[in-house]
Structure 1
Amino acid sequence: MKRMLTAAVAMTLTLSLGASALAYSGTITLNGTKLDTSKLPDAPAGSAIPLRTVAEADYGFADWYADENRSFFSLDGNSIYVDCATGAIEVNGETLSNMKATFVQGTTYVPASLLSKLDGYSAQVKGSDVTITTPNGDELVSLARSIIDKVEMGASIKLDAAGMEESYNIPADCFTEAIGFFPMIVSADTIVIGKVADGKMDDAKAALEAQRALTQQNFEQYLPEPLERAKNGQIVTSGDYIMLIISGDNDTAIQMFKDGVK
């Protein structure tokens, strides 16, 4: 009798979690890179995206709030909450009425169509294979992030040209495309990479030098290490491209920049 009850409890728990003994049967390709799905359980019907795996591979993160019984996922500034009891999904403050998450052995799966709710994201499903594109697949964004990872920069606030103009007075019309990553309060680490518009190279240099000088000014009364980094910040060009770099290893960053925009 005890064995039968134990087996029944185990079966109930398995069903409630939507568990599967099978490994993930498809592939997930994110911005041209195939993700490792070898440790994932198979996806339930209608929900192809393992949200934590995709978020962490796309420079985002995941967390769980035990007191609320909700999971949190961050993807490129988008906030996604999942109710672990009901599967309800909230995206940037809006609860989706026609979509639920499913849980399989602790893995949160969502329909591929969820990604269409996020600016710059898309997911194409063909059979059991999923191809995802995100804003982090952009060439300049990818280059900037690779530099940040390589030289271990503390720059986490991502802004496009319009955002840099609004927040830092770097004129958007200096560039045909640009991306910047800026620090939190106690770091000076900064990287801006842009393709300069015709006739705007001098203006772009001046704007980025003004940003470097402002960063230096912000640390002149305290925190000597970020102050030195800001003082040693450099503005470099390669063809039509320009970069402001404030980091602990500018030489490596500059070489990566020049190799990346050839």
Structure 2
Amino acid sequence: MKKRMVLLILTLVLGMVIAACSGDKSANIEAKLSAKEMIDQMMEKVEQPSLMELQPDEVKSLYNIEPEKLEDFSIRIPMMNVKTNEIAILKVKDAKDVADVELAVKERAESVQKQFEHYLPDQYENAKNYKLITKGNYVLLIISDKPDELVEVYESFFKQK
């Protein structure tokens, strides 16, 4: 009887530990700053060419994303069409829309590639080597000659709740 009780208690404790560890941690990821503040700091720490802020009404036309799906975002695009550099941080309101936003961002990166495919070879290489990273409800696009440095700065903005 005593062995059964110990086995039952051990099974219950193990079940609780497994249940606690299997929770969806992606929903608990939260940035310390707004999307705009993150990009400002990224550009401060990693030199980029002049980039301008994309206006909310331009999100639909360039990224094919309904702005209503986004809780927060900041997108920087080149001021002149001789660079491919682009940084976009999109915080999606609803986790069910993250895959759609990822797809739209990937299509945007492919569109930039097509623009530069026969234009400027070095910029085409930047566009081909874009970074697309998803953390919880955040989607990041980086097109740059220094993508890894920018990703490193971006990663520093997150904490697990």
- TM above 0.5, yes or no, is yes
- Residue pairs, 1:5-84, within 5 angstroms: none
Question: Residue 250 of structure 1: CA displacement?
Answer: 1.1
What does residue 181 of structure 1 align with? Answer: 76
Whether 1:164 and 2:59 are equivalent positions in the alignment is yes
Structure 1 residue matching 2:156: 3-state secondary structure: helix
Percent identity reads: 29
Indicate if the aligned counterparts of 1:241 and 1:261 stay in contact, CA closer than 8 A. Answer: no
Question: Residue 139 of structure 1: CA displacement?
Answer: 2.3
Q: How many residues matched?
A: 125
- Residue pairs, 1:74-223, within 5 angstroms: 139-183=34-78, 184-198=80-94, 199-223=96-120
Structure 1 residue matching 2:76: 3-state secondary structure: strand
Greater share of strand: 1
Indicate if the aligned counterparts of 1:156 and 1:182 stay in contact, CA closer than 8 A. Answer: yes
Unpaired runs of 5+ in structure 1? 1-137
CA distance in 2, matches of 1:252, 1:215: 21
Structure 2 residue matching 1:256: 3-state secondary structure: helix
CA distance in 2, matches of 1:231, 1:201: 22
What does residue 228 of structure 1 align with? Answer: 125
Indicate if the aligned counterparts of 2:53 and 2:75 stay in contact, CA closer than 8 A. Answer: yes
CA distance in 2, matches of 1:181, 1:231: 18
Unpaired runs of 5+ in structure 2? 1-32
Indicate if the aligned counterparts of 1:229 and 1:247 stay in contact, CA closer than 8 A. Answer: yes
Give the number of the structure whose alpha-carbon radius of gyration is greater.
1
Q: Which amino acid counterpart does residue 180 of structure 1 have in structure 2? A: I
Q: Which amino acid counterpart does residue 230 of structure 1 have in structure 2? A: A
CA offsets, 1:72-110, max 9 Å, x none? xxxxxxxxxxxxxxxxxxxxxxxxxxxxxxxxxxxxxxx
What is the Cα-based RMSD across aligned positions, in Å? 1.7
Question: Residue 155 of structure 1: CA displacement?
Answer: 4.7
1:254 pairs with one of 148, 151, 161: 151
Q: Which amino acid counterpart does residue 74 of structure 2 have in structure 1? A: I
What does residue 240 of structure 1 align with? Answer: 137
Moved more, 178-187 or 164-173: 164-173
Greater share of helix: 2
Structure 2 residue matching 1:200: 3-state secondary structure: helix
What does residue 27 of structure 1 align with? Answer: none
Moved more, 141-150 or 200-209: 141-150
CA offsets, 1:31-53, max 9 Å, x none? xxxxxxxxxxxxxxxxxxxxxxx
Structure 1 residue matching 2:84: 3-state secondary structure: coil
Question: Residue 238 of structure 1: CA displacement?
Answer: 1.5
What does residue 96 of structure 1 align with? Answer: none
Structure 2 residue matching 1:153: 3-state secondary structure: coil
Q: Which has the higher contact order (CA 8 A, sep 6+)?
A: 2
CA distance in 2, matches of 1:167, 1:212: 10
Question: Residue 160 of structure 1: CA displacement?
Answer: 4.1
